[in-house]
Amino acid sequence: MERSTIVRVHEGLHARPATRFVKLAKGFESDVELVKDGKAVSAKSSVKLMLLAVKENQEVTVRANGADAIEAIEALIGYLENPRAGLDDEADTQSPANDAGQEVVPAPAPESAPAALGRANGLRGVAASEGFAVGPAFAHFPPDIAGRGRMLQAEEIGGEIDRFRTAVRAVQARMDDALAQDSLSAGDRGIVAALRDIAADDSLTSEAEGLIRGGNDAISAVITAASTIAADFSAVDDHYLNARADDVHAVGRQICLVLLGQDDVSLENIPEGAILIADDIGAWDLARAPLKRIGGVVCGHGGATSHIAIIARSHGIPAVLGLGAQVNALRTAREVALDGNGGHVIIDPDAATRADFAGRVEAAAKERAGLTVFKTVTPKLADGRIIEVAANIGSLEEIEAALEAGAMGVGLFRTELLFMRHMHLPSEDMQAETYAALAKAFAPYPVIVRTLDIGGDKPIAGIEFPDEENPFLGWRGIRMCLDRPDIFKRQLRALLRAAVHGNIKVMLPMVSDISEVTRTRALVEECAAELKAEGVPHATFDLGVMIETPAAVLIAPALAKEVAFFSIGTNDLTQYIMAADRLNPTVAKLNDVTNPAVMSAIEMTAKAGVAAGIMVGMCGEAAGRPDLIATFVKMGLTELSMSPASIQRAKKTIMAMASGD
């Protein structure tokens, strides 16, 4: 039996989702395979599953053969379509990347570079976890492991296989013991679980046992098998899966150490505030280390998506990774200064540099502690104007974090996830319940709901999109919705029903012509008339537009007469103004909101809105940048919407403006 579906797992089947999928598959007797692009792999092998490189929104087929094949397919398809309803025993915070259609969490405003960075003792790597640190160097360079270098005799092979299998079981047992400890955070526990699965995966064990049968000693076999599988991960066109190569090497090392009867060099004795330096640190070792004592991490291997980086970020430890051979210059360092924001490392800093970094560390700690007081603050300017600082969210699960941060409502609720989570288009009732829950949670603050903003780059079930060479300039946003009133009216009816429960506002994405607003308003009126005739409670809502196309900027004065508010989407506006795809790294430098052309577009929009007496807000990435907030407010913006993590800092920035600081 087989059945196809679209994968809804965020970021695809990377380590932990693959682990969960395999755990589910192993609960069935049937042989189960996952098929993508004609290639089939066992659904009971996490390594093979990860190497299939299944990404979010791709189509796959689940194939099962056995007595419980029907049950297996139903369960596995259910997980792929709605992962959070399945094995959700650990929060899936492993990947730092957001969906391509979502704004990236705003970074703090760039600080001036430390003075010593241009000197000979300054190194540059990958900025993997933000923050500053200065402290004693703790060099962690365990000796390399090598095989015996001799071929086994035929009579030795059986015993060597047994020895290898015993070592694998021992590594699994160690990891199981670690998972049983309460000291592991949910995120670290998920990482250790993924490593444990790699240790037991048929891909690794079968490869190693095959080499042993060919006459290789167990240690040589493990090293070769791990290198082969790691090379497969490195060859995949996916930066996240590339980082799993380090995990395979880390697991291989643990198996080899058991075979040698040795323990790895311990991190237990790292001094308080020390900078951990290594060529490579296995996630297994780092997850068990006394993380509260580690001041920073510097590593030759790894990148922003490696498990080392994920652990460091989750524990607030500054980290610079990917130094390569440069890390050897730190072997004899006595002290290290670390800039996790810019990826800089300074060896044995002088007194001035130490003082500079110590000041940065102290300032960051004070800022974190001091920001919490702004949770309940309503930021006002000297003239009494209130600046609403709201949250950008995409699901009901994000409400708690937004409220905890002190969000003054929602400036952008992305409805795409509601559509993408299901194999069928969400019903009017389901949508109405979701929007009503939002309105109730943030009342009396406004909740601005963006109507469906989806196109050929983000397909959803139930809508057939044309093949487009450039979907960002194609059939998306309001263009698609107006062409599909059967879908659009269902959403508009749900929003009218939800407006009874709170302050719902609605904004239209990708507007480039006034007719798109007038046609939408006609549909809203049509929906309201239908609901009235049916006796369904409903209420009116303010209708606004996102300003994200150059056309919308140029007709802003006319648009302002037709709508109740503007919300500037700086991410798309920047890419369209600069004619530079924001997902294309080769033109990344052009995607700069501070470019005079983009800032002029924002100012033109603000002037048009202020002149018409409507609210002008911003829901793009730039809204949370402390270095730009004052400029936006002076332009006339009175609402800024951002990631919940940036809300308290933004409130502080606005209050400082009011006091003249």
Q: Which residue numbers are catalytic?
A: 307, 619
CA angle 264–322–207, rounded 5-degree value: 55
Distance CA 234, CA 123 (A): 25
What is the bridge-based pairing of β-strands 31-36 and 59-65? Answer: antiparallel
Distance CA 251, CA 255 (A): 6
What is the bridge-based pairing of β-strands 335-339 and 126-129? Answer: unpaired
392's enclosing H/E stretch is strand 388-393
C-alpha pair distances (Å), 76 with each of 83, 316, 435, 509: 9, 35, 29, 35
- Token pair recorded at residue 627: 């270095």
Q: Are 411 and 641 in contact (CB under 8 A)?
A: yes
Helix (H, G, I), strand (E, B), or coil: what is residue 414?
strand
- Other C-beta atoms within 10 Å of 461: how many? 16
Q: Are 251 and 199 in contact (CB under 8 A)?
A: yes
Q: Are 20 and 83 in contact (CB under 8 A)?
A: yes
State residue 392 phi and psi, 5-degree precision.
Answer: -95, 120
Distance CA 388, CA 544 (A): 16
Q: In what order do the strands lie in the sheet with 344-347?
A: 122-124, 344-347, 335-339, 132-139, 274-278, 294-299, 319-321, 126-129
- Token pair recorded at residue 147: 């095989």
Distance CA 134, CA 489 (A): 58
What is the bridge-based pairing of β-strands 388-393 and 639-642? Answer: parallel
Which residues, other chains included, contact 64 with Cβ-Cβ below 8 Å and sequence gap of 6+?
1, 2, 28, 30, 31, 32, 33, 70, 72, 73, 76
Q: Are 5 and 81 in contact (CB under 8 A)?
A: yes
Q: Are 568 and 619 in contact (CB under 8 A)?
A: yes
**By C-alpha distance, which of 567, 625, 187, 643 is closest to 405?**
643
- Other C-beta atoms within 10 Å of 1: how many? 12
DSSP string across 123-165: EE-EEEE--EEEEEEEE--PPP-----SPPPHHHHHHHHHHHH
Buried b / exposed e over 82-109, threshold 16 CB at 10 Å, is ebeebbeebebebbbeebebbbeebebe
515's enclosing H/E stretch is helix 514-534
**By C-alpha distance, which of 5, 98, 100 is closest to 454?**
100
Q: In what order do the strands lie in the sheet with 31-36?
A: 2-6, 59-65, 31-36, 39-42
Query: What are the helix and strand counts (H, E) for the chain?
Result: 24, 20
